[in-house]
Amino acid sequence: MAELTSLREAVAELVRDGDTVALEGFTHLIPTLAGHEIIRQRRRDLTLVRMTPDLVYDQMIGMGVARKLVFSWGGNPGVGSLHRFRDAVENGWPVPLDVDEHSHAGMANRYVAGASHLPFAVLRGYQGSSLAGRSDTISTVTCPFTGEELAAVAAINPDVTVIHAQRADRAGNVQLWGILGVQKEAVLAARRVLITVEEVVDELDPKPGAVVLPSWVVTAVAHVPGGAHPSYAAGYTTRDNAFYSAWDPISRDRDTFTAWMAEHVMDAAS
């Protein structure tokens, strides 16, 4: 059963140095404030996993939290590059960052395998792409029925998955809707699960297209309104497009970035 707790306590208890951690969210419902708490608690040597690492991963990488990034598209959506990610990969600042790089289809299927507790997933993909030769989590498998050679990708089973959702009830059942990304799979693939929510309610009334994650697959729920900013939570907040643009100049320069993080993240109360 999920425990309703504070974000600070949840991160302290669930996220450990050296863990493989997935903060998922496909443009919508990105758990930004949980990422900030991980930075404040100075976790180190994390393997960060996400299909679409954007600003919060740029911040975590720039603050030296990560040693490795497992991903399929790393950019500032609609704006351009992630400068802290590039600086870490290209120049090893503040620490070198290894990458395990996939396509979206490959990453999505890796989570599906993880959620299914299978060792790998099968897809048609990567044929002729340079990606295949650079990752030890991409291989091939021969179909036992047709003899066709298909791509095989290793399961992802994070130590911790963190997502943001619209609502939870007091028993810790969680409800999310809108663009759902790969969050359900990332949750069911993980050993421990932290979910931040916009609102805690007495009862979850049905919503069209909503996913409910039962309390007994969730380790901790924290009430963190606005926890997805500058991303959004459909029905609660809207995407702060201006912030995505503003991040570009902030993140280009190491000193500007470090000062911004000191003021807006390190000194912020959790």
Partner 1 sequence: MTATPEELDWSSDEMMAVASARALADARTCFVGIGLPSTAANLARRTTNPGLVLIYESGTIGAKPEVLPLSIGDGELADTAEAVVPVPEIFNYWLQAGRCDVGFLGAAQVDRFGNINTTLIGRGDGQPDLRLPGAGGAPEIAAHAGKVLITVRHSTRVFVQDLGFVTSVGFGQGRDDRERLGLRGAGPTQVLTDLGVLEPDPATRELTLTACHPGVTVEQVRAATGWPLKVADDVATTPAPTADELAVLRELHARTREAHSAGS
Strands (E), 18-148: 20-23, 46-50, 66-71, 98-101, 120-123, 138-142
**Residue 181 in the binding site for partner 1 (CB under 8 A):** yes
Q: Which of the residues 106 through 125 are near partner 1 (CB under 8 A)? A: 108-109, 111-112, 123-125
Alpha-carbon distance values, 184 to 111, 190, 210, 246 (Å): 9, 10, 11, 31
Closest CA to 94 of 21, 45, 140: 45
What is the SS3 assignment for 179? coil
**Residue 130 in the binding site for partner 1 (CB under 8 A):** yes
**Residue 209 in the binding site for partner 1 (CB under 8 A):** yes
**Residue 96 in the binding site for partner 1 (CB under 8 A):** no
Closest CA to 101 of 140, 72, 68: 72
CB of 205 to partner 1, least distance (A): 19
Distance between the two ends of the chain, CA-based, in angstroms? 24
**Residue 78 in the binding site for partner 1 (CB under 8 A):** yes
Residue choice 141, 171, 180, 204 for contact with partner 1 (CB under 8 A): 180
Q: How many CB atoms lie within 10 A of CB 155?
A: 19
Residue choice 105, 204, 212, 246 for contact with partner 1 (CB under 8 A): 105
d(CA 156, CA 44): 20
**Residue 239 in the binding site for partner 1 (CB under 8 A):** yes
**Residue 217 in the binding site for partner 1 (CB under 8 A):** no
- What sign for the dihedral angle of Cα 250, 252, 256, 257? positive
CB of 35 to partner 1, least distance (A): 17
Residue range at the interface with partner 1 (CB under 8 A); choices 1-9, 32-40, 99-107, 248-256 = 99-107
Q: How many residues bind partner 1 (CB under 8 A)?
A: 57
Q: Which of the residues 19 through 38 are near partner 1 (CB under 8 A)? A: 26-28
Helix segments in 65-213, DSSP class H: 83-91, 104-115, 183-189
CB of 196 to partner 1, least distance (A): 18
Please give the single-letter amino acid code of residue 7. Answer: L
Residue range at the interface with partner 1 (CB under 8 A); choices 7-15, 40-48, 79-87, 252-260 = 79-87
Chain center to CA of 72: 12
Question: DSSP assignment, residue 204?
Answer: -
Residues within the interface to partner 1 (CB under 8 A): 26-28, 51-52, 71-75, 77-78, 81-82, 85-86, 89-91, 101-105, 108-109, 111-112, 123-131, 148-149, 178-182, 184-185, 209, 230, 232, 234, 238-244
